[in-house]
Homo-oligomer: A and B are copies of this chain.
Amino acid sequence: MHSPTKHIAESTVRRLSLYLRFLEEFESRGQTTVSSGELARSGGTTSAQVRKDLSFFGSFGKRGLGYGVKDLIHSIREILGLEQPWPVIIIGAGKIGAALAQYRGFTSRGFHVVGVYDRDPAKTGMNLGALSVRSDTELERDIALHKPRIAVLAVPGEAAQAMVDRVVSAGMHAILSFAPAPLHAPQGVTIRAVNMATELEILAYSLTHGV
């Protein structure tokens, strides 16, 4: 089954997400069965890694045969929690926030943007696809009302920690931040931060030091 007793490494979860993509590709090509080796080759890992990753959550394959593509897709979606929809709010309607609000990759996996907020009155009312930007003063009320599960932060670095505190005390437990600032949240709240400057700096390092 898919309730691991042990703690699961983030890298494992990340790979599951990757496997899922390949499985969907295999499915769209009509392939009904895959081996751990095939999945490994697509994803740039090893077959043992694939088997180990899956074995944390149960036995999904058949020895001598491999994994059923359809079944494994379903199992991984269940493990990741993707069999249910995830309402998402975006906070900050600047360039990045506006782009994210209209990003199709979100919706395709069950993530629905249900609200976009900004503190700048000049931006509220602005249309982004089907949504219009709301004032950040509505945030607490809307969170209580619509119970979004994930907040995406696209606010300036200086405003980020204060906004984390706000959405956390409004009851949210998962935050994806694009703000260029390190953030802290209480136990029980998961924050993931994507820092584009850091990504570029890692590239600069690799260029500077030869590969």
Contacts and interface: CB of A to CB of B under 8 A. Distances in A.
Interface of A: 3-4, 8, 10, 13-14, 16-18, 21, 42-44, 79-82, 86, 88, 95-96, 98-100, 102-103, 105-106, 108-111, 149-150, 173-176, 180, 182, 184, 187-188, 190, 192, 194-209, 211
Contacts of A150: 200, 203-204, 207
A109 B200 contact: yes
A18 to B, nearest CB: 7
Of the candidates A4, A194, A200, the one having the most CB atoms from chain B within 10 angstroms of its own CB is A200
A175 B207 CA distance: 11
Given A44-B182, A106-B196, A206-B174, A201 B82 contact: yes
A195 B106 CA distance: 10
A201 B192 CA distance: 11
A79 B203 CA distance: 12
A14 B205 CA distance: 10
Number of copies: 2
A3 B174 CA distance: 39
Given A201-B13, A202-B17, A211 B190 contact: yes
B95 A102 contact: yes
Nearest to A200: B111
A115 to B, nearest CB: 16
A101 B205 CA distance: 22
A203 B190 contact: yes
B204 A176 contact: no
Of the candidates A81, A82, A111, A197, the one having the most CB atoms from chain B within 10 angstroms of its own CB is A197
Contacts of A184: 44
Contacts of A208: 80-81
